A and B are shown apart, each in its own frame.
Chain A
Amino acid sequence: MSELVIKDLQVSVDTEDGPKEILKGVTLTIASGETHAIMGPNGSGKSTLAYSIAGHPKYTITGGTVTLDGEDVLAMSVDERARAGLFLAMQYPVEVPGVSVSNFLRTAKTAIDGEAPKLRTWVKDVNGALERLNLDPTFGTRSVNEGFSGGEKKRHEIAQLELLDPKVAILDETDSGLDIDALKVVSAGVNRFREQEGKGVLLITHYTRILRYIKPDFVHVFVAGKVAASGGSELADELEAEGYDKYLKAAAV
């Protein structure tokens, strides 16, 4: 059983006008077996939450705690967080020219496991993961994210999720820019991950569309750097019908 606990997390970024507070005290607990959807308008700080948990250097933690199974995540380096069992599927995966997908995947798997994967099973695992995400077997020879279409980038992120097998996955707008077929493929990948014992998912999205394919256990409305409301999946239906206006107005008061 694992548990990602975020308590009163406060985060700022440096701007030309000095530090700007983005997260203003976020509290969330993602227990294993649970999928939490975070929904909110643009600029509400959803992505900041994802990147802060992953340890992006751009963000400064000014208060609060994040623990994974009691371990202090904020004290860990970026790669230590990944090895501890966190995975961030990025909204904008980064190109790494000249590094093949297969080399990248094997290097990452070796780092996560602390030993090189067994060659025979590994090749099978990689090919299987790529195939399930409708990625061509020659995909492995391409440079990481270079020249990938938007859909290929997201499917590649989910292939990594399957292969690296973290405890908790944070999916940052994985649905954005996907057509309906790609969305189904990506959602199926996330659902395969969820079906395993003891996995937690934090699904960050702007749209309710993906929630038709990935049913969340909890939905949180994120406005102005904090959780404005929490509920079950019915909250997503309400947002679909009414939008964020109600919460934005309340936050503005």
Chain B
Amino acid sequence: MTVTDTDPAIARDSVASALEQDRVESHLNPPPSYDLADHPVPTGREEVWRFTPLKRLRGILDGEASDKRLRREVSLPDGVTLSDITAEQAREIGELAPNDRPSALAVANAGGAVLLDVPADLEATEPVVVTLTGEGAEDLVWGHVVVRLGRHSKATIVLRHTGSARYAATTTVVVGDGAELNMVSLQDWDDDAVHLGRDAIRVGRDASVKHTSVSFGGDVVRMHANVEYDGPGGEAELLGLYFADAGQHLEHRLFADHNQPRTKSNVVYKGALQGQGARTVWIGNVLIRKVAEGIGTYEENRNLVLTDGCQADSVPNLEIETGEIEGAGHASATARFDDEQLFYLRSRGVSDAEARRLVLHGFFNDLIRKVGIPSLEEQLTDTVEAELAKNVLDGLPPVGAP
């Protein structure tokens, strides 16, 4: 296990540097651009592509036109609207420009965007639930979404992906000043789906965002969760949970761009792997720009390798342009079941399989409790159980609720 922490520095209120908005280029993230020429077809040797099995993307990056869509079921609370807008309107709203080839292709090919609009001051009582279903593994689908939360609004959004497709989508989330968003993107695809997704979030002044990415299904799933800030005081909590089975490639790439002072980011991603060829990738990039004094950031990735034949890559990166911060740190650990934990449980009569299940249950439980949507928490627990039943444990009754 590696744990690194920089010494906390005293946060200094510095109006002068807060006004200074020099665009430092991140070494780890290509600059945003709508121009496809800026996002050439990758060879696989690029830093941002080197972990991804390009052949298994089945031609998505060629960028063919397609008018296929995912079937959409929507449940909207009162006051929240869903409408079609043009790509130009999406830009006017202030979407975050694409910063990789799939998101640039999605904007270019989707023929307009979908706008989910939460008006200012609205506190949605029910979650927005959008279920997107792919009709077939060969369907090529481009997705372009903008989510807008007005000032001081509050909403919970659950975006669920099911069925199968070759799907590339970019989603911008613009969170107004003082707004509060809890958003979950659930990748519950069939085994043959390919999904290249990018959720790019701009956090308003004093706004708070919780974003959870959950990946269980699909052949190849590669998700970005990017966050930047529109003013001081914004907070982002980026959570993730994934469970890779034999042959699955699940990749999660995080980017917290601290471009405003006194902002916070906290990242926790946890994953399990089981079966031959199960592969997970976690890349956690944090950029602390010169202007971003007094910020705090922490990133954590934990992987539990359940069987032989799996590979988990975990790369936390920190680029620091100023030392005048509250704290910046990261931790990454990839391990098998802890023999001492299993021994302890088994010494209390619990069978080996049941002990493994308890440990795994606990491993994810900490994270699931943070998601903050009770109905979904239960479902996530069930899905973890079901995933486990596939391989590690056969025919055991479920572990009781805590």
Greatest chain A CB density within 10 A among B362, B363, B364, B401 is at: B362
Smallest CB-CB separation from A78: which chain B residue?
Answer: B346
A residues 55-114 near B (Cβ < 8 Å) are 55-57, 77-79, 81-83, 87-88, 90, 93-100, 102-104, 106-108, 111-112
Contact of A103 among B339, B351, B355, B401 (CB under 8 A): B401
A residues less than 8 Å from B341 (CB atoms): 94-96
Interface of B is mostly: helix
Verify A112–B364 contact, CB threshold 8 A.
no
Task: Give bound CA distance, A79 to B352, whole Å.
Answer: 8
The answer to whether A160 has its CB under 8 Å from any CB of chain B is: yes
B residues 259-277 near A (Cβ < 8 Å) are none
The answer to whether A141 has its CB under 8 Å from any CB of chain B is: yes
A residues less than 8 Å from B395 (CB atoms): none
B residues less than 8 Å from A100 (CB atoms): 402
Q: B357-400: contact bitstring with A at CB < 8 Å (1 yes, 0 no)? A: 01101111110000000000000000000000000000000011
The answer to whether A176 has its CB under 8 Å from any CB of chain B is: no
Q: A104-146: contact bitstring with B at CB < 8 Å (1 yes, 0 no)? A: 1011100110000000000000000000000000000101100
Task: Give bound CA distance, A87 to B347, whole Å.
Answer: 7
The answer to whether A22 has its CB under 8 Å from any CB of chain B is: no
Contact of B343 among A57, A98, A106 (CB under 8 A): A57
The answer to whether A39 has its CB under 8 Å from any CB of chain B is: no
Verify A98–B399 contact, CB threshold 8 A.
no
Verify A98–B351 contact, CB threshold 8 A.
no
Interchain nearest-CB distance for B387 vs A (Å): 16
Residues of B in contact, count (CB < 8 Å) = 28
Task: Give bound CA distance, A78 to B355, whole Å.
Answer: 11
Contact of A77 among B346, B354, B358 (CB under 8 A): B346
B residues less than 8 Å from A111 (CB atoms): 348-351, 354
Interchain nearest-CB distance for B190 vs A (Å): 29
Verify A96–B362 contact, CB threshold 8 A.
yes
Task: Give bound CA distance, A96 to B359, whole Å.
Answer: 7
A residues less than 8 Å from B338 (CB atoms): 94
Verify B343–A108 contact, CB threshold 8 A.
no
Residues of A whose CB lies within 8 Å of any CB of B are 54-57, 77-79, 81-83, 87-88, 90, 93-100, 102-104, 106-108, 111-112, 141, 143-144, 160, 164
29 contacts between A and B (CB under 8 A): A54-B347, A55-B347, A57-B339, A77-B346, A78-B346, A79-B350, A82-B349, A87-B347, A90-B344, A94-B338, A97-B362, A97-B363, A98-B364, A98-B365, A98-B366, A99-B359, A103-B399, A103-B401, A104-B345, A104-B358, A107-B350, A107-B354, A107-B399, A108-B350, A111-B348, A111-B349, A112-B348, A143-B366, A160-B348
